[in-house]
Amino acid sequence: MKLVTAIIKPFKLDEVREALGELGVSGVTVTEVKGFGRQKGHTELYRGAEYVVDFLPKVKVEVALTDELVESAVEAITKTAATGKIGDGKIFISQLDDAIRIRTGETGPEAI
Amino acid sequence: MNEIFELQYALDTFYFLMCGALVMWMAAGFAMLEAGLVRSKNTTEILTKNISLFAVACTMYMVCGYHIMYADLGDLLLRGITGDGATGMEEPATYAPSADFYFQVVFVATAMSIVSGAVAERMKLWAFLAFAVVMTGFIYPMEGSWTWGGQSVFGLYTLGDLGFSDFAGSGIVHMAGASAALAGVLLLGARKGKYGADGSINAIPGANLPMATLGTFILWLGWFGFNGGSVLATASVESANAVAVVFLNTNAAASGGLIAALIVARFMFGKADLTMALNGALAGLVAITAEPSTPTALQATLFGGLGGVLVVFSIVALDKLKIDDPVGAISVHGVVGLLGLLLVPLTNDASTFSGQLIGAATIFIWVFGASAVVWSILKSTMGIRVSQEEEFDGVDLSECGMEAYPEFVSAKS
């Protein structure tokens, strides 16, 4: 099992969710986050004086997957979240040791 | 006394009182504007200052301010003011004497409201209110007595004789408030973080622009009472015509000011700056206040527009001088107030440029000087500035002990 964490542009969330749904992914967790990457922040003017927006708003999508779904899910996220412009975000994949469904007590891939 | 006169007396008094109520409502406008342009951690405190200063102004003007400003109209504590304006007066008025007090007192509060915005986010609440006592009970009534009160300036000269004219108070109210504010800001210093050690100027964006916009709309509405009421009458064809022109010109100048500031800010900063547009509308209003009855509608729009252009440059210039004014009060009311005074002779032959300049200088030197003395005394006794840590945490907690938007508060069980 793998945990796929994608940081994407907020306005792409609906498309990503739909694409993952079509693959049969049964659940995702979404968090509003802020951060910076190569895009850095940007400066704005308020009453003629500059201020810097260092951390840009992004959406973090976390999805736990069985090994065979990982490749297609990553492909789906990459395809739908891309705009080709700087700031499209990143995908991180990490090993997932176990999963437990609280209601039934099922563990492992069954619980995903 | 015939019935027509009675009707006129009743109508003029009613109009006067309603205009006074509109001006009273400007206190709400200032409160919202200032609460919108400060950071959310300083909201409760700025609201406390705004509503408290209004009450202090009304009380002090009742105790001694009105008597100092109009010695022949009212005694200390307003003894005898409940009388009849039509009989027993040297010159019969067409409105109740107590209505005159009510209309005058809300102007004092307006002048004091200007100060609170400029010193926001760092001044101690109680030092500010102590200043309000002196400003509304003495400093403002003194310059008011030399202008609207018709008294000579310490027996030296009389402004009216020199051709000084200020219809509703561009100088007497607005520039006076800004002069007191400037003295306070110079002794207080800038907000922490506003100016970097390397000379950089940092923006400290206001927390709530809907509130700032609502405040500006309220001020715009209240200004019809401010200028319209200053005609002092409405119950004759002549005065009714004058009132209508004043309403029209007041509205035109505000519009001209807003459009001018919006466009100037767009070209200077690249985007539409709402806060500058709001300051522009107020600048237009301040610019026309010294003489809203003689310009044509086009002239009023242009005068307002001139105020709107000037206010943007003034705000940027004050920032370069490191004079930190979070809401732009010194620019809107002071710099544009002076402009308003100097525009009067263009449309009103009864006033002169020299008279306007001497009047403006008299008001500025007196209010700035007297305020600087009072602020200095307060600074060396009770202190006028909160500590650095209190400023960082927000004066809502240090001065009022309550946040405007409390989160994660749990009851003590």
Sign of CA dihedral B119, B122, B125, B130: negative
Token pair in block for residue A46: 């308020």
CB B293 within 8 A of CB B349: no
φ and ψ at B232, to 5 degrees?
75, -5
Nearest chain A CA: its distance from B334 CA (Å): 18
- State the ipTM, two decimals: 0.81
Residue B149 is given by DSSP the state T
Are A50 and B205 in contact (CB < 8 Å)?
no
pLDDT number for residue B82 = 76
The residue written with tokens 């622009």 in the block is B209
In this prediction, residue B2 carries a pLDDT of: 81
Is B190 in the A-facing interface, judged by CB distances under 8 Å?
A: no
- The predicted pLDDT at position B408 comes to 76
pLDDT-derived band at B247 (thresholds 50, 70, 90) equals very high
Query: For residues B81 and A62, which has the higher predicted lDDT (pLDDT)?
Result: A62
Rounded Cα–Cα distance for residues B292 and B251 (Å): 10
CB B85 within 8 A of CB B92: yes
pLDDT of B52 higher than 90: yes
Q: Closest Cα partner for B33 from B251, B305, B275, B253?
A: B275
Q: How many CB atoms lie within 10 A of CB A104?
A: 9
Contacts of B316 in chain A (CB under 8 A): 47-48
Q: Are B172 and B166 within 8 A, CB to CB?
A: yes
The torsion of the CA quartet B324, B117, B331, B297, rounded to 10 degrees, works out to 160
Judged by CB atoms closer than 8 Å, whether chains meet at A45 and B319 is answered as no
User: In 10 A of CB B290, how many CB atoms?
Assistant: 31
Instruction: Give how far the C-alpha of residue B90 lies from the chain's centroid of Cα atoms, to the nearest Å.
Output: 32
* B203, B265, B270 ranked by CB distance to A49: nearest: B203
**Measured between CB atoms, which of A44, A48, A51 is closest to B319?**
A48
Is B205 within 8 Å of chain A by CB?
yes
H or E segment to which residue A49 belongs: strand A49-53
Mean pLDDT of the region B7-16 = 94
Q: What percent of chain B has pLDDT over 90?
A: 90
- Could you give the CA distance from residue B141 to residue B69 in angstroms, rounded to a whole number? 5
B90-99, B185-194, B245-254: least confident range: B90-99
**Which amino acid would we find at residue B71?**
A
The residues near A23 (Cβ < 8 Å, ≥ 6 apart) are: A69, A72, A73, A76
Q: Work out the minimum CA distance from A55 to partner chain B, whole angstroms.
A: 16
Coil vs helix vs strand at A44: strand
Q: CA of B269: which chain A residue's CA is closest?
A: A48
Question: Can you list the residues of chain A whose pLDDT is less than 50?
Answer: none
How many residue pairs from chains A and B have C-beta atoms closer than 8 A? 40
- The pLDDT mean for chain B works out to 95
CB B37 within 8 A of CB B326: yes
Looking at per-residue confidence, does B79 or B242 come out higher? B242
pLDDT for B81 equals 83
Residues in contact with B204: Cβ distance below 8 Å, sequence separation at least 6, in sequence order: A46, A51, B39, B191, B193, B194, B326
| Residue B269 near chain A (CB below 8 Å) | yes
Residue B372 has pLDDT above 80, yes or no: yes
Q: Across residues B73-84, what is the average pLDDT?
A: 84
pLDDT band at B1 (very low <50, low <70, confident <90, very high): low
Q: How confident is the model at residue B73 (pLDDT cuts 50, 70, 90)?
A: confident
3-state helix, strand, coil in chain A (%, to 5): 30, 40, 35
Q: In the predicted model, is pLDDT for residue B242 greater than 70?
A: yes
Q: pTM above the 0.95 mark? A: no
% of chain B beyond a pLDDT of 70: 98
- How many Cβ atoms from other residues are within 10 Å of residue B295's Cβ? 24
Which among B202, B269, B315 has CB closest to A51? Answer: B202
Residues B163-209 pLDDT 10s: 999 999 999 999 999 999 999 999 999 999 999 999 899 999 999 99
Q: What is the pLDDT of residue A40?
A: 83
Tell me what percent of chain B is helix, strand and coil, each rounded to the nearest 5.
Answer: 70, 0, 30
Q: What average pLDDT does this structure show over B331-338?
A: 98
Q: Which of B33, B202, B313 to mutate to test the interface with A (most CBs of A within 10 A)?
A: B202
Copy the structure tokens of residue B287: 């610019």
Distance from the Cα of residue A69 to its chain's centroid: 16
Q: How far is residue B58's CA from residue B23's CA, in Å, rounded to a whole number? A: 13
Q: What is the residue whose two structure tokens read 């200007």?
A: B114
Contact B273 A47 (CB under 8 A): yes
Distances (CA, A) of B264 to B105, B205, B301, B394: 36, 20, 16, 33
Instruction: Please count the other Cβ atoms lying within 10 Å of the Cβ belonging to residue A26.
Output: 11
CA distance B352 to B126: 42
| SS3 label, residue B29 | helix
User: What is the model's pLDDT at position B413?
Assistant: 64
